[in-house]
Amino acid sequence: MSDTFQLDGESVPFEPGQTVMQAALATGHYIPHLCYHPEFKPHGSCKVCTVKVNGRTAASCTMPAEAGLDVESNIEEMNGLRRTLVQMLFAEGNHFCPSCEKSGNCMLQALGYDLEVHTAGFRHLYPDRPLDASHPDILLDFNRCILCELCVRASSEVDGKNVFALSGRGITKHLVVNAETGLLKDTDIALTDKAMHVCPVGVILPKRVGFSVPIGKRRYDQRPISKQALDDAPRQADAGGSCAAREGIP
């Protein structure tokens, strides 16, 4: 019989080795998140999944599930902090949702809707970030990067190519291409690479397929991210309770 912890007053069973996030999703409890991906070891970079655990804040994607924990997630204090984080991400980058090819499939946009973020809330920084259209099949729009590191990890751990990296610190931290020229055309990235399919926003885009699915019929146009994540999350009955099976993210 599984041990349990409390999440917003409900008992949540978990398997040994699961995090609070994994156990929550597996049992139908949504915790907002951006950088979490079930196929990669959680590292807590975005902090959107922060919860209160026994009165103290912690990233639920890295917090090991333990019997007797009292976890608070869907409370105004935590949702207010999440709204602030999302607002900061919108203000820090150049996000023009109406003209973005990723609109309707973008986790940041969908999370903003779900958390009822109506304005950036901060002065926009409008960073000067170039586009890289050098590759014949792939476009890079650095303006939308939220530094989740998923493309970096996918290219390294799955594709074995190390195409992407993060450079700089603090406000100067940014995504770069690991090539002498800094251009994507001088790498061996391919459309089939895992790194092509893990970006939660619109940084890495295949060319000549933009808007092939009309706005209004895309992933988060159909169901809000809070419902979609639960539709896609593995359940305890899947593969012996494994939470690394699927979450609707390629």
Whole-number Cα distances in Å, 6 to 74, 171, 212, 235? 12, 37, 44, 18
Q: What is the pLDDT of residue 130?
A: 87
Q: What is the pLDDT of residue 1?
A: 52
Q: What is the pLDDT of residue 174?
A: 94
Instruction: Please give the Cα distance from 145 to 174 (Å, whole number).
Output: 8
Which CATH architecture group holds 3-74?
Answer: Roll (3.10)
Q: What is the pLDDT of residue 240?
A: 37
Q: What is the pLDDT of residue 234?
A: 67
Stated as kind and residue range, the H or E segment containing 22 is: helix 20-26
Q: Which amino acid is at 148?
A: C
Task: Look at residues 185, 183, 165, 186 and name the one whose alpha carbon lies nearest to residue 174.
Answer: 165
Q: What is the pLDDT of residue 232?
A: 78
Task: Look at residues 232, 175, 173, 172 and name the one whose alpha carbon lies nearest to residue 30.
Answer: 232
Instruction: Please give the Cα distance from 180 to 82 (Å, whole number).
Output: 38
Other beta carbons within 10 Å of 67: 10
Instruction: Please give the Cα distance from 6 to 10 (Å, whole number).
Output: 5
CATH number for the domain formed by residue range(s) 81-221 = 3.30.70.20
Q: What is the pLDDT along the chain (250 residues), one digit of tens a residue?
A: 569 999 999 999 999 999 999 999 999 999 999 999 989 999 888 999 999 999 999 999 999 999 999 999 999 999 999 999 999 999 999 999 988 999 999 999 999 999 999 888 899 999 989 899 999 999 999 999 999 999 999 999 999 999 999 999 988 999 999 999 999 999 999 999 999 999 999 999 999 998 999 989 999 999 999 999 888 776 554 433 333 344 444 4
Instruction: Please give the Cα distance from 158 to 175 (Å, whole number).
Output: 18
Two tokens at 62?
């890295």
Does residue 59 sit in helix, strand or coil?
Answer: strand
DSSP letter assigned to residue 197: S
**What are the extents of the domains in the chain?**
3-74, 81-221
Does residue 191 sit in helix, strand or coil?
Answer: coil
DSSP letter assigned to residue 214: P
Q: What is the pLDDT of residue 236?
A: 54
Q: What is the pLDDT of residue 180?
A: 97
92 φ, ψ (degrees, to nearest 5):
-75, -30
Q: Which amino acid is at 139?
A: L
- Assess contact for 223 and 6: CB atoms under 8 A: no
- Assess contact for 115 and 30: CB atoms under 8 A: no
Longest dimension (CA), the chain: 56
- Assess contact for 150 and 37: CB atoms under 8 A: yes
Instruction: Please give the Cα distance from 44 to 20 (Å, whole number).
Output: 12
Q: Which amino acid is at 184?
A: L
